[in-house]
Structure 1
């Protein structure tokens, strides 16, 4: 293990490269299709990355409405890093950044099996609607 491999560094607003995101998403999501993330990140309020030993091991995107609402999207943790608290750390960091940037409400949609994870991040349940387009 190289120096620093045991340390996870969180950063907000430092854009990951497409190559870094593709590498992370490929091992994390079975249905990932390569695409450019530049247009997505250009419309984001901010994003948070986690690196270990120079490798991207976590990512969360925060999209804002230009007012008081922000939304968590694409929370992704490398499979080798899961169940160690990194996911909670990165989402809480994203919440702090959204607050710092003026958001008063942070929203997240998730599948039922992720409810306890997002509760540990500080989210409470709410009724919402969803339409597939």
Structure 2
């Protein structure tokens, strides 16, 4: 298996909707992800195994020094294989190259080993309001 990691590449919306449904639960939506990320994101990283989309992470930003990871997802059969960490590493590298100085990520407690131990984030205090 040779996974290809690409920055800001085109992808199939149906494939990303299916990957999101698999990763986050629930039925596949009909979201136009490609239009959304082109409009709002610094970039995104796709992980592909041939023609199959097996991973994705979205990088949004404030237009300045802060980048934010959203929607990190990996196909269930490839979790714990390094694909997620490689997605994040590419997102960090590309964000740094774009002039960002900080990468933020919010995560649920069970993902702490992945983001802190596996990807090098340090824990910080944060706040959240459900809207």
Same fold (TM over 0.5): yes
Q: Say which SS state the counterpart of residue 45 (structure 1) adopts.
A: strand
Aligned to 1:36: 32
- Which of 5, 12, 17 is the aligned partner of 1:17? 12
Provide the rounded CA distance (Å) in 1 between the counterparts of 2:34 and 2:20: 15
Pairs aligned (count): 128
Q: Which runs of 5+ in 1 are unaligned?
A: 1-5
Asked whether the equivalents of residues 14 and 30 of structure 2 are also in contact (C-alpha less than 8 Å), the reply is no
- Which of 107, 116, 119 is the aligned partner of 1:121? 119
Q: Say which SS state the counterpart of residue 18 (structure 2) adopts.
A: helix
Query: Aligned-pair distance for 1:58?
Result: 0.3
Query: Aligned-pair distance for 1:82?
Result: 0.4
More helix by share: 2
Aligned to 1:3: none
Query: Aligned-pair distance for 1:53?
Result: 2.2
- Which of 80, 97, 101 is the aligned partner of 1:100? 97
Aligned to 2:22: 27
Q: Say which SS state the counterpart of residue 31 (structure 2) adopts.
A: coil
Q: Which runs of 5+ in 2 are unaligned?
A: none
- Report the TM-score, using the length of structure 2 for normalisation: 0.92
